[in-house]
Amino acid sequence: MYLNLIPLYSILAKENKSVINEDLLFIDEINNFLMDEDLVIMKEAKESLFDIILIGSGGTEGLFLKRLNDLKEPIVILSTSRNNSLPAALEIKTYLENKNKLCFLLSGEEKHIASMLKHIATIIGAYHSLKDNRLGVIGGASSWLIASPIEPKVIYQNFKINVVKIKMSELDELIEETEKEMLDSKDIPHSNELINKYKDKEIIHQALVIYVALKKLVRKYELKGLTIRCFDLLKKYKNTACLALALLNEEGITAGCEGDIFALLTMHIVQALTGRSAFMANPSKFNYEDHTLLLAHCTVPLNMTSSYSLTTHFESGLGIGVRGEMPEGRITVCKIAPDYTLENCVCMPASIKDNPNLPGYCRTQITVSLDEDGLLDLLKASFGNHLVVSYGDVYQDFFPLLSLLRR
């Protein structure tokens, strides 16, 4: 992908060949660090991912203002740290922030600048992949989610994502239709493995019927993800959507339970940033002595586990729940706030310490280590019922992406 370079120089600096040549070497060195990321900075690049405004010298603030109306947010300013470039870049950054423009100022060593450009490319790439996506809400939110309203217009204003409301009766019809069909194992990931893992063939069959019915809704409404008021299935079918959601997430179709739209949005945004599945879980127990948090749920994506088994759904003892062993390592714990404010959003680095198997909690359980203030920060935030877990460091890109989506 190309990054379009727009160099700005004062008249005196533009006539100084040594300044220009030095800056060309500066850009070449940044490009050397970007080679593995498939990113290239280039003047007059067509179909570029974003523009980079190179502040080559002082006295360029007025030149920048003349260009401003043609620039899209976020505006990326690059300082060479020579020839009064940095003070001019700081003046421009201050002007943009006073005008409530989203901008990034890059300065320092070439390796650091390349790393920051990689993050910006990830953010902008995720923005383009998310814009105008369609997420389905099947049956509405569960009755206990009293702080998580489903407001399609407000959600689009804040995230540029469309919410499609789907009646539970439509899923019921598709389940009944699918039950009459012969399931094709080619259309079901891990079908033979899943069937062999569960002793009651009728229950595993129906769990896979629910998966196929949900896939039909995905195709019909052109969905990139969905959440379902899943406890309604327990009443009618004595089964769950847990396995179906685990499989959908593994496929890259973001899938959440309980009709929690804010957990679904968080999972979908994290998936766009990382290209990996995310796990929606209940914060189940705080331990203030060792700064850990127990997270648990029955829907872990299979590709986030080193091994898994199929058991019953925790609260009901019915249907199928997934118990997965999640590899220890660095993760990010995050959640978009139901009041839409960035202040109440959660996004913090953490690590998986172990996978307990405790009674009284959902089937997949992980003990997560936070830093010393992490638990207190969680309690201060108002994020609702669930948290989202992603492998890797998402927190560097999470808030800038949310800011960009709000533009």
Q: What is the mean pLDDT of residues 337-342?
A: 95
Please say which residue of 102, 130, 158 terminates a domain.
Answer: 130
Please say which residue of 115, 130, 145 terminates a domain.
Answer: 130
Helix or strand run (H / E) with residue 43: strand 40-43
Residue 407 lies in a domain: no
The tally of CA atoms less than 13 A away on the side-chain side of residue 300 is: 29
Residue 405 lies in a domain: no
**Domain shared by 124 and 187, yes or no:** no
Residue 403 lies in a domain: no
**Domain shared by 193 and 231, yes or no:** yes
Residue 256 has pLDDT above 90, yes or no: yes
Name the residue range of residue 73's domain: 2-130
At 108-167, the pLDDT tens digits run 999 999 999 999 999 999 999 999 999 999 999 999 999 999 999 999 999 999 999 999
**Domain shared by 254 and 190, yes or no:** yes
Backbone angles phi, psi at 111, to 5 degrees: -65, -40
Specify the pLDDT at position 76: 98
Residue 185 has pLDDT above 90, yes or no: no
**Domain shared by 88 and 103, yes or no:** yes
Residue 99 lies in a domain: yes
**Domain shared by 199 and 265, yes or no:** yes
Reference 214, options 257, 157, 273; nearest CA is 257
**Domain shared by 273 and 334, yes or no:** yes
At 16-37, the pLDDT tens digits run 999 999 999 999 999 999 999 9
**Domain shared by 96 and 147, yes or no:** no
Residue 76 lies in a domain: yes
Please say which residue of 76, 97, 130 terminates a domain.
Answer: 130
Average pLDDT, the chain: 96
Question: Which 3 state secondary structure label does DSSP give 323?
Answer: strand
Specify the pLDDT at position 187: 86
- Going by pLDDT thresholds of 50, 70 and 90, the confidence category of residue 325 is very high
**Domain shared by 124 and 176, yes or no:** no
Residue 404 lies in a domain: no
Specify the pLDDT at position 338: 96
**Domain shared by 106 and 170, yes or no:** no
**Domain shared by 198 and 86, yes or no:** no
Instruction: Report pTM.
Output: 0.95
- Report the CATH number that the domain containing residue 74 is assigned in CATH: 3.40.50.10940
Give the chain's count of helices (H) and strands (E).
14, 17
Residue 201 lies in a domain: yes
How many structural domains compose the chain?
2
**Domain shared by 140 and 183, yes or no:** yes
* DSSP line for 130-183: HTT-EEEEES---TT-TT----HHHHHHHHS-EEEEE-HHHHHHHHHHHHTS--
Residue 163 lies in a domain: yes
Q: What is the mean pLDDT of residues 45-74?
A: 96
**Domain shared by 306 and 329, yes or no:** yes
Residue 18's Cβ-count burial label (10 Å; 0-12, 13-18, 19+) is: exposed
288-292: long-range pairs with CB below 8 Å, 24+? 288/375, 290/369, 291/369, 291/370, 291/371, 291/372, 291/374, 291/375, 292/353, 292/367, 292/368, 292/369, 292/370
Specify the pLDDT at position 184: 84
